[in-house]
Amino acid sequence: MPHHDLVIIGSGSGNSLLTPELEGLDVAIVEKGTFGGTCLNVGCIPTKMFVLPADRAVDAADSHRLGVTFTTPTVDWPAIRDRVFGRIDPISDGGEEYREGQEHVTLYRTRARFVGERRLALDTGEEVTADRVVVAAGSRAVGLPLDHLREADPDRGIHTSDTVMRMGSLPRRMLVVGGGFVACEMAHVFDGLGVEVVQVQRSPRLLMAEEEHISQRYSEIACARYDVRLESTVTALEPAGDGWRATLLGPDGEDVLDTETVLLAVGRRPNDDLLDVWNAGIETHPDGRVVVDAQQRTTAEGVWALGDISSPWQLKHVANHEARIVAHNLAVDLGRVDGPPRSNDLGPVPHAVFGHPQVASFGPTTAELEHDGTPYVSYTQKVGDVAYGWALEDETGLLTVHASPDGRILAAHMVGTQASSIIQPLIQAASLGQTVQEVARGQYWIHPALAEVVENALLGLPLDG
């Protein structure tokens, strides 16, 4: 039975924790799927590479408001797809080849499940043990409890985000089921590239986890672009010709929709169940996430966890930060570095939705602040009311900032052009403890750059004194 100093389950962010401080350990990496994990292969990176050409197409269609008119763009789907994966696939292959070539690393290209404390059974039939284990096995897309929608079937046109980006050709129509960030980003991509998109969302707005007026504004923009069915559900899906016939139940009753392709984007669940983590004494939350403490330790001795399998955020930048925490704490545990272990206390966690326009946020929403009884003040700045907003002819962008009455930045929520970048100064300020006044008046703001949206939002806050 092979024994290793360290076993890492998952080749995404878990692969990055092999720092110089851990040099020379006998390490095993267990990976059944594509090497490199979700973000590289089917998540953050390829999706945003598809978002960009869709952005270009939507901007071109909208540019008549600036006095410029383009002909309808020609979309070469194979060229778009192959540009994306022509860059990504070699990175995955190269990462796998690099690890396989390292003297002290063993790569098991199979599935593993716990059968005891730090003891794993592989699908190959052998078992391995380790002094320490890091569980970084991620999450997976889920389906619906309906015939034909329980899981992906790409050969028949039923996709999740794992498969939809590798389609051989663009369908004429796509039914997107879901209203979260994956559904909204993919609906934007395929509508932008000329597919007739119908998006079905059971709630009254898209992006329900966002600040309510940001969610409402994004929903209004999406509804003006393509067919969005709010407060609606898919109740049945049946084969019809070369595609599918979906039955939708909405506020006005039942409707029937024919579609070539269905994208299931209704959520993801941690992969704890695929690993039988309970056999190792690893506790989980009711939603399946592995329980970890502030140092990313699980409830089992010598086992750490990071990323989607344990985090409520399901964000790559969070998983990368957690990998750095685990790498340091492993080195401390091994006596390779001095000092105490590190805790995961970086501060507010930001996220973004790369739709059109973008949505970005960190910190509590208005509803959460009021629920918790937190004193706060707010100000909402329209993008169209700053000079660069005039240039953009922006009619929809908003930035809302929440602060304590004495000027501590608590949260920011934005929908608008490049929101994911515009909000970053506020993330930094909140993380470093800067006050509203320090950020607004303690530096120059380039005029007439779009960042003046941030400056004006801060100056608009009705602070005490």
Catalytic residues: 447
Give SS3 for 100. helix
Residues 110 and 129: their CA atoms lie apart, in Å, by: 15
Q: Are 207 and 353 in contact (CB under 8 A)?
A: yes
Kindly give, in sequence order, each residue whose CB lies less than 8 Å from that of residue 227, ignoring residues fewer than 6 positions away.
196, 197, 198, 199
Structure letter (DSSP) for residue 274: H
Residues 3 and 129: their CA atoms lie apart, in Å, by: 5
Q: Are 106 and 27 in contact (CB under 8 A)?
A: yes
Q: Are 342 and 327 in contact (CB under 8 A)?
A: no
The structure tokens listed for 178 are 């879901």
Give SS3 for 2. coil
Residues 18 and 37: their CA atoms lie apart, in Å, by: 16
Q: Are 358 and 416 in contact (CB under 8 A)?
A: yes
Any idea of the CA torsion for 392, 394, 400, 401, to the nearest 10 degrees?
Answer: 20
Kindly give, in sequence order, each residue whose CB lies less than 8 Å from that of residue 238, ignoring residues fewer than 6 positions away.
147, 148, 244, 245
> In 84-225, where do the E strands start and end?
105-108, 112-116, 119-122, 127-135, 139-141, 158-159, 173-177, 196-200
Residues in the chain: 465
